[in-house]
Structure 1
Amino acid sequence: MAERDFVPVRIAVLTVSDTRTPADDRSGDTLVARIAAAGHTLAARDIVQDDRDAIVARLREWIAEDDIDVIISTGGTGLTGRDVTVEAHREVYEKQIDAFATLFTMISVRKIGTSAVQSRACGGVAQGTYLFALPGSPGACKDGWDEILVHQLDYRHMPCNFVEIMPRLQEHLRRK
């Protein structure tokens, strides 16, 4: 089989936090650095409060943009009352990527043991855009990117990857 060429994707990073600012957003910085190192394009970056409506609004705004292929959020995936990122993501998803959460949990167990049960990382698809919600720690962002997303967002990854099916994510909308 012939070697495939790398296909850069356009990724938006959303930090969900009541306390972080651009000056101290270490988790967002971790993702941005890894996105650039992998050869992808940072399409947008923002910080929103732990507010379900605000998160949903930003996700819907970004999935409506043609120049964003993937959205990765960090923060708000825990169990406290202010952790509403997962609920916001699920409100937007057309399809959930259940195995993303499962795989993230498997990776987390190796690193933090049973504390992995407190993470509700998730993934899904909406309007042809991939969305992933990672916990708000730089370590969790490294794990999510280094162990899963760097591979699945690389067209060269075999036997399959998210990039190769991007053109087909909205095939149900095509006229017959």
Structure 2
Amino acid sequence: MSRIDESREFLPVRIAVLTVSDTRSPEDDRSGDVLAARIAEAGHVLAAREILRDDREAIAERLRSWCADPGIDVVISTGGTGLTGRDVTVEAHRDVYEKEIDAFGVVFTHVSMAKIGTSAVQSRATGGVAAGTYLFALPGSPGACKDAWDEILKLQLDYRHRPCNFVEIMPRLDEHLRRK
């Protein structure tokens, strides 16, 4: 069973939050606020925060630029994961991924099923890795952001989490780029 190993030192990670929405502004970005608050409460660093419209190329470009930034370890986006024509966040993430974390969407769906039942099938939450940076796309609702953080990301982004976690393998995420 998973647990926090108190004998290990907590290692803060630097996390960027991207809200994808045609209607949100900094004043009413509740999902971005939820993520920013939880990141700080957990002891991590909010490295960047931005709001972009539902534009696949612009989203992918922001993800790439944050992946290239040595001051950012993780990018969490919120919004644009649904089924409508304007929902292009998942496609933008997949344009950037080197590897997809397939189980992230599965686990998120499992968590969501306990909260919202079969409505969970409408989410396309996803996770992946690019240029040594973790990328996660969450739905745009504050509840979904709380669930993803509280049930998955808070644990996996804690170096003390056992039996394994995302932080301990961070130094090896881009090892293929360093090989000659």
Give the TM-score category using the shorter length: over 0.9
- How do 1:35-74 residues align onto structure 2 when only pairs under 5 Å count? 35-74=39-78
Residue 110 of structure 2 is matched in structure 1 by 106
Compute the TM-score of the two structures, normalised by the length of structure 1: 0.98
Which of 131, 151, 163 pairs up with 2:167? Answer: 163
Per the alignment, residue 89 of structure 1 pairs with 93
Please name the residue that 1:128 is paired with.
132
Per the TM alignment, residue 2 of structure 1 is displaced from its structure 2 partner at its CA by 7.7
Query: What is the CA–CA distance in structure 2 between the aligned matches of 1:2 and 1:85, rounded to whole Å?
Result: 37
- Give the gaps of 5 or more residues in structure 2: none
Scaled by the length of structure 2, the TM-score of the pair is 0.96
Which one of 125, 139, 154 corresponds to residue 143 of structure 2? 139
Measured at CA, do residues 15 and 2 of structure 1 come closer, stay the same or move farther in structure 2, by a change above 3 Å? closer
Identical residues among aligned pairs (%): 78
Structure 1 residue 171: deviation in Å?
1.2
> Separation in 2 of the partners of 1:10 and 1:140?
21
1:117 aligns with 2:121: yes
Does the 8 Å contact 2:78/2:145 carry over to 1? yes
Name the counterpart of 2:12.
8
* Residue segments in structure 1 that go unaligned for 5+ positions in a row: none
